[in-house]
Chains A and B, each alone.
Chain A
Amino acid sequence: MTKVAIVGLGWSGFSPEVVDMSFREMMFKAAQRAYEDAGGLDPRRDVDAFISCQEDFWEGISIADEFAPDPIGGAMKSVYTVAGDSLQCVGQAYAMIKSGLFDVVVVESHGKPSDMLTLHDVMSMALDPISLRPLGLANIHALAALEARAYMAKYGVGPQHLAEVVEKAHRAGLRNPRASYAGRLNAGDYELSPVVVDPLREADIAKFVDAAVVVVLASEAAARDLSDTPVWVEGVGWRTETSTLELHDWAFPLHARMAAEDAYRQAKIADPAKEVGFAEVDNRYSFKELQHIEALGLAPRGSAAEMLLEEPSTQAAACPSTSAAARWPRGSPSKSTASPD
């Protein structure tokens, strides 16, 4: 079975509001960069299939997959859409190439949340329409806050830990030219940040950015043709928990733990805390960074917070480096997790 590599990456946007380009123009720009990065690849000739990660409600367009092919060179070619995060598309592209039927697969994802006038209402559409939506939650972040509370209560995590995550991420973002919300914050600044839904303050919640990301994946033979520096993908995993929120584990992201185990198994990693040299974790909420470090097995359950305080610059000895720039100062483009960092 062939190995799979990332051979090109391109991006566009990563600012709070991209006013001068439509999402289609952002996709085109990101695709141009990715194809140049992949050795000047011609998408009309060299790409076997395209996958776009997007969701109709975020687009404000139903059957939005119809809009996917044109800006990325996929007109009249094999294109399909995954309603999910871009990392899911990377996983799908990986599987397609592993199957031996495809040599080069392009993954596109974008988010233009600045186009949404009623962001809260749109996000609320993700709730179960019968059991949850009628509650009319005043703030969609309440769901994350419930998880935060459960996690913090169970593992003795306090606001000082969240403040440290926030401070570290903002500081790290200063080294990232795409981090719109980077800055120097201290604990005092954190406490001045208004509470959105206790325990989450505004500073705990990633702000949105408009962005598009295109990733080119290739089989081993194609990768060696296209790139001198392919990034080999050794393992991929994704899991989805139950859609019934009441039935899921509020205190610990089991889905992330199981997905990580899938990827580690493929990559033959037995002890991630020792073998993983660098991890970038999703921290769209501050406490999620701590949870995900633990879910990835980079720190024992419930210990990431204390490790962070002991060794804030590198997170912890057992977890050498995480979240260098992270989602949070860069902002969250809603569907484009695949990072250009």
Chain B
Amino acid sequence: MTKPVNPRGTPIKEAEAVGIEFPVVGKARYNYTTGEALGVFLAGLKQGRILGTVCKRCGRVFVPPRMYCSYCFRPVDGWVEARDEGVVVTAVASYIEATRARAEKARVVGVIKLEVPGYKFDDHFFPGIMHYICVDDEAVKSMGIFGMRVRARWRPVEQRVGSITDIECFEPAGP
């Protein structure tokens, strides 16, 4: 048998959820060039700052940043710093690990709409970040997480490497 029995998947309730070990990195390996935009972004994270770029023609702020405005097709006009807090736009709770093993504790991942002083954004296009949210899955089930204010929980400076994981997760920031 070399094919999965049920390629459409098996409902979680019925699954024996047996973990399978597989190499995360296969034979095809890459060394992605960050370029200017993401290079500056990652360097900013190491300093505990979330940086984005701004197009002054349309007012869009790009987080994660890019050096061009996709909508105006022109170079962006410079850098802005987003606050490391915002509101949750959407979130899910995951009960299964990437290895297919059942997670001991549900992990919540979501998208956070960030705030940039001096700029206003609608719900269609906004500077955002997708990250873990350190809340109980009940917050997702109850839908209470939507619109929740959250703030980045940064790793200690000495542990930061210039990666999106320099932020451990976003946690409730209070009202």
Interface residues of A (CB under 8 A from B): 18-25, 28, 31, 35, 42-44, 57, 60, 69-71, 73, 75, 112, 114-118, 121-122, 124-125
Contact = CB atoms under 8 A, between A and B. Distances in A.
B36 A21 contact: yes
B159 interface: no
A44 B33 contact: no
B70 A75 contact: yes
Contacts of B67: 25, 28
A73 B27 CA distance: 34
Given A44-B73, A70-B70, A71-B70, A121 B27 contact: yes
Contacts of A73: 70, 73
B53 to A, nearest CB: 12
B72 to A, nearest CB: 7
Interface of B is mostly: loop
Given A25-B67, A75-B70, A60 B28 contact: yes
B34 A117 contact: no
Contacts of A118: 27-29
Contact of A70 (B27, B34, B66): B66
A75 B67 CA distance: 15
Interface in B7-30: 27-30
B71 interface: yes
Given A22-B37, A25-B36, A117 B66 contact: no
Contacts of A114: 31, 33
Given A21-B35, A24-B66, A25-B35, A44 B71 contact: yes
Nearest to A120: B27
5 contacts: A22-B35, A31-B73, A117-B31, A121-B28, A125-B28
Contacts of A125: 27-28
A125 B37 CA distance: 31
Nearest to B32: A115
Given A44-B73, A71-B70, A75-B71, A117 B33 contact: no
In the complex, which of the residues B29, B38, B68 has the most CB atoms of chain A within 10 Å of its own CB atom? B68
A124 B66 CA distance: 33
Nearest to B71: A75
A117 B29 contact: yes
Nearest to A60: B30
Contact of A122 (B28, B34, B73): B28
A210 B167 CA distance: 32
Contacts of B31: 114-117
A133 to B, nearest CB: 11
In the complex, which of the residues A28, A35, A115, A125 has the most CB atoms of chain B within 10 Å of its own CB atom? A28
B30 A116 contact: yes
Nearest to A117: B29
B30 A69 contact: no
